[in-house]
Amino acid sequence: MFNFENLDQKTRQYMLLEAQEAIRTSQLNYSQRFTEQGIERYPQLLLEAIQSGNERTLAAALKQQECFNSHEKHGAVVRKVPENAELTFAEGEFNNFYMRGVCHRAFGEGHMVEIYRAKAASSPRVASNLIEGNLEDPRRVLLLIKNSLDGSKRGSGMPAGSNSGLSVRLTVVPVQK
């Protein structure tokens, strides 16, 4: 489970603004494993989780609403979708909107954000360890997240997508001009 240090009503408001913008501009990251029902229901389930839930409530809603296919095709091979597909997806997406909300808030307050380990890992990636504690301009982080919906193209020095376990938190350090 993630420890979202700044997940309060103020951050949720910024998360909601970011999610509404993503929905309005067709910039949501839809899982390739979604059913038609999943594609249809995901935006509302995300908004509900942002307003009053977390990554676990989002995963539970995705599972309960049968948003994921039970099997997927890879070439000529059909295989079962992993049992934790909903949770992995929900963790990555909730964290993305949490980071967007924190960055939006930090920018408004004129502060840097800090990269931190929000989810414990038994053997964290070396690249993750190297960036923990880094201070970043929230405008830069927000731009990188928005331009790489699944986290795969954010570049070094930024929390990646699903399974990275890294997030951002507010600081009192002023943004460098």
Cβ atoms < 10 Å from Cβ of 93 = 28
Positions of the chain with pLDDT lower than 50, given as ranges: none
Residue 171 makes CB contacts below 8 A (sequence gap 6+) with: 106, 111, 112, 113, 114, 135
CB atoms within 10 A of CB 29: 16
The pLDDT score that the predictor gives to residue 156 is 59
pLDDT of residue 21: 97
What pLDDT score does 116 carry?
Answer: 96
Provide the pLDDT for residue 164. 80
Whole-number pLDDT of residue 24 = 97
The pLDDT value recorded for residue 6 is: 98
- What's the order of all strands across the beta sheet hosting 111-117? 135-136, 111-117, 166-174
Whether the CA torsion 59, 62, 65, 68 is positive or negative: it is negative
CA 104 – CA 109 distance, rounded (Å): 9
Q: Of 84, 53, 69, 9, which is closest to residue 45 (Cα–Cα)?
A: 53
Rg of the chain, C-alpha, whole Å: 16
